Structure formats: structure tokens, C-alpha cells
Amino acid sequence: FVEANIRGGGEFGPSWHQAGLKANRNKCFEDFISVAEHLISQKICTPSTLAVRGGSNGGLLVGMMYVLRPDLFGAIHCAVPLLDMKRYHKLPAGASWMAEYGNPDEDWDAFLKKYSPYHLIDGNVEKYPPMLVTTSTRDDRVHPGHSRKMVKKLWDMAADGGVCGGW
């Protein structure tokens, strides 16, 4: 078990958290990828034995791992995730996160589209890792629509002949 204290978290104070906000959100993903690559380079695991789990904001993180580096992980558990960063602010509680992620109406082209897993799924990717997506209708922060849309899109891609691991 490894816990990656990546930029954007609160483990090392406000400046560490702020280093992963809005246009700098990519730093969170880069840090997480670096941890995974280090584990593999040190022969602690292989991509096929490396599984990751994240929920809520961590669901966004592992959702991005799914689309950015499908080769790096053997399995992903994406729990109550934010996955549609273009419309997150239109769902309950979503508007309260704009200080963290940005305003999709203003920041989509500048940076938000670069970390919206729902929009980054690529039908040309040869193989995605198996992914368990879980949600809840009782979560007061992340609407289940994020999970539902993502799974539906992956199912549709698989039905159209796309290769989505686990579907």
C-alpha cells in the first residue's frame, strides 16, 4: 500500500495545496504518475499489478490516470468521481468548487478541458485498464451523473467496437 501525497493535497500546508489548483491541476497528475513510475522502476510492482483507488477529487485523479496513462495501471477503482469538468458547476454542490477547479464557462479552453476525463476518452487507445466506477445517490457533494455518464460513454464505445478494458 502506498499513499501518494501529491501537490494539491493539504498534507504540507496551504502552499502545497495551492500548487495544484486550477491551471496547475496537471501538477497533481504529474506527481501521481511519477509515484507510479517510481514504484515500477524500483520493481515494487509492475503495471499489471499496480491498482489505484480514488474518491471524489481522488476520483478525478484516477479518472485522469485512466485517460492519460492507461498503460501504467492494472486496475482502477474510481469512486464518486468528478469526471465531467465542463458541466460540474451545473450539478448540485458543483458551483462551490470553482475556486478549486475554475469556472468552466470561462476556463474551459484555457485549462479545464485538459483535465476532464469524460471528454478525454480516446476511442483510438488500444486498451484501457479495467475500471470499477462506483457512485452514490446519497453523496451530497458529487452528483452520480458524473459516474453514470462516464460508464455510458465507455459502454457505447465498446458496443461500437472500441476497446475499453473491463467493459
Q: How far apart are CA 107 and CA 143, in angstroms?
A: 21
Q: Is 94 in contact with 88 (CB distance < 8 Å)?
A: yes
Q: What is the largest CA-CA distance in the chain?
A: 47
Would the pTM of this model clear 0.85, i.e. be above it?
yes
pLDDT, position 164: 56
Please tell me the predicted confidence (pLDDT) of residue 29: 98
Alpha carbon of 20 to those of 25, 39, 163: distances in Å? 5, 22, 32
Distant-in-sequence, close-in-space partners of 2: CB < 8 Å, separation ≥ 6:
35, 39
CA distance 26 to 60: 11
Q: Residue 161: its pLDDT value, please?
A: 64
Grid cell locating 47: 503495471
Query: Would you write out the chain's pLDDT as a tens digit for each of its 167 residues?
Result: 999 999 999 999 999 999 999 999 999 999 999 999 999 999 999 999 999 999 999 999 999 999 999 999 999 999 999 999 999 999 888 889 999 999 999 999 999 999 999 999 998 898 899 999 999 888 778 889 999 999 999 999 886 665 554 44
Helices (H), 1-116: 14-18, 26-41, 57-68, 98-101, 104-107
* pLDDT confidence of residue 71: 97
